[in-house]
Structure 1
């Protein structure tokens, strides 16, 4: 038995959730916030059998895509002088953790 934590962008959350549910996986969703861009994420918690882990990862990968986004940034040019300019960063995709589960009960 495995426990999967999958962190995906809110932009992809509905598609990932729908696809996992359609494939008969029980999913718990948590609203989370990313540390780098302070943007909204969804963390999925999925308990599944060892042999179905790869299927879960493939579903998440298919429905959570990386993309680029422009964010404001600033640079300091001496004492008290700042200039703002946009920087392109990659967002989206998924971060997935798979953990062994010693015991699983569904009551």
Structure 2
């Protein structure tokens, strides 16, 4: 058995969870926050038998595509009292960061 941990953009959470449930996969959804953009993420936990792992990964890949978006970066600027001048930058957001972990035991009570 495997545990799939998928960290995804909040905007993709509903469609991913729906697609996994339609394919008979049980999902646990956790709210999380990204460190770089400091925006909401969702972490999905999916326990899956090894022979179904590729199916789960395909669903994640299909539902969680990357996209470009604008955000504000703070550039240090020493002559201003605040110390920073915000300026817009384009970043790649979305997609999925996926970890697959071997599960030694599984119990459901």
Instruction: Tell me the TM-score normalised to structure 1 length.
Output: 0.93
Change (3 A) 1:101 1:82: closer
RMSD: 1.3
Q: For this pair of structures, how many residues does the alignment match?
A: 107
Query: After TM superposition, where is structure 1 displaced by more than 4 Å over at least 4 residues in a row?
Result: none
Find out whether 1:9 has 2:21 as its counterpart: no
- The unaligned stretches of length 5 or more in structure 1 are none
Measure the CA separation in 2 of the matches of 1:74 and 1:43: 27
Give me the TM-score of the superposition, normalised by structure 2: 0.91
Q: Which residue of 1 aligns with 2:60?
A: 60
Q: CA distance change for structure 1 residues 24 and 41 in 2, over 3 Å: closer, same or farther?
A: same
- Of residues 96-105 and 67-76 in structure 1, the stretch that sits farther from structure 2 once superposed is 67-76
Q: Does residue 1:48 correspond to 2:48, yes or no?
A: yes
Deviation at 1:73, TM superposition (A): 1.9
Structure 2: gaps of 5 or more residues: none
